Amino acid sequence: MKFAFSTLGVPGLPIPDVLALADRTGYQGVELRAHPEEPVHPGIGPRERASVVEEFQRAGIEILTVAGYVRVAKADADEKRLRQELDELLWLARDLGASFVRVFPGGGDRPAAEADATAARRLGAAAELAADFGVRILLETHDSHRTGTDAARVLGPVGHKHVGALWDVMHTWLGGEAPATTHAALAPYLGYVQVKDIASAEDTTPLALGAGVLPLGECLALLDDDSWVCWEYEKRWYPQAEELPGLLAAGREHLEGLIAASRHG
């Protein structure tokens, strides 16, 4: 498998430092948090985009994902603005050579059928531009659609290969869904998996991989050998959490050990 980490774990870190960190700790890719407070986001211009591409190519590290914050099931969203934001993420991903754009459900407390239909319609409308750019839009298991079964209710009706799923293992676990059930629901759509670890459902402060309760080995055992696995360490939201750089190498080694055990156990 191939390993990436999210820049959510190193908020605001300049790209050269992100790349040095990835190289030093043995990660092949990076998930870029595309927020204006970060170095890379839809507001940067052509020259800055080209510079980012050059830096990643020189380091031999892949830009896995442009991780955006569009909420495709949101009820009161301005349709024109939401589509513009999604298109801007797709253009950024195209310019950077990223494989994926991450979006959230964000359906709130709406009836599930309404949220599903809204999300499917918006994703379907953007699918052709994604296909033109060679990018896949991935709906993360999160908030109103935190399980694989929830996400599949949206992705099935979309029915487009350039719209898929991002499996966040914490959210499916918090939703009470077993890894095998999640994988069965998402397998036709799966882009990649985000891993993390936490102490409990009540304390979601990020921990070193293997130090918490999430069934990481069970999840990894279900994946193909060529899958991407990304560590999303939510340092941005939990400033009291341990610093990620010192954890990265051991985290990758832990994942490799779990994968080896699942293949040879």
CATH 3.20.20.100 fits 2-264, yes or no: no
Mean pLDDT (the chain) is 97
Pairing assessment for the beta strands 190-195 and 100-104 based on DSSP bridges: unpaired
- How confident is the model at residue 156, as a pLDDT? 98
Can you give the pLDDT at residue 218?
98
pLDDT for 204: 98
The pLDDT score that the predictor gives to residue 265 is: 61
Q: Domain boundaries in the chain?
A: 2-264
pLDDT tens digit sequence for 178-226: 999 999 999 999 999 999 999 999 999 999 999 999 999 999 999 999 9
| Three-point CA angle 250, 256, 260, nearest 5° | 145
Q: What is residue 264's predicted lDDT score, i.e. its pLDDT?
A: 79
Average pLDDT over residues 231-251: 97
Whether pLDDT at 12 is above 70: yes
Q: What is the pLDDT of residue 220?
A: 98
Average pLDDT over residues 154-164: 98
Say which amino acid occupies 146: R
Asked if residue 245 lies in contact with residue 203, where contact means CB atoms within 8 angstroms, the answer is no
E-assigned strand segments in 60-189: 62-71, 100-104, 136-140, 163-168
Q: What is the pTM of this model?
A: 0.98
Whole-number pLDDT of residue 263: 84
Per the DSSP assignment, residues forming a β-bridge with 31 are 6, 65
| Spatial contact of 233 and 9, defined as CB atoms under 8 Å apart | yes
- Percent of the chain predicted with pLDDT > 70: 100
Read off the tokens for 190: 């799966």
Model pLDDT for residues 40-77, shown as the tens digit of each residue: 999 999 999 999 999 999 999 999 999 999 999 999 88
Residue type, 157: P
Give tens-digit pLDDT for 114-154: 999 999 999 999 999 999 999 999 999 999 999 999 999 99
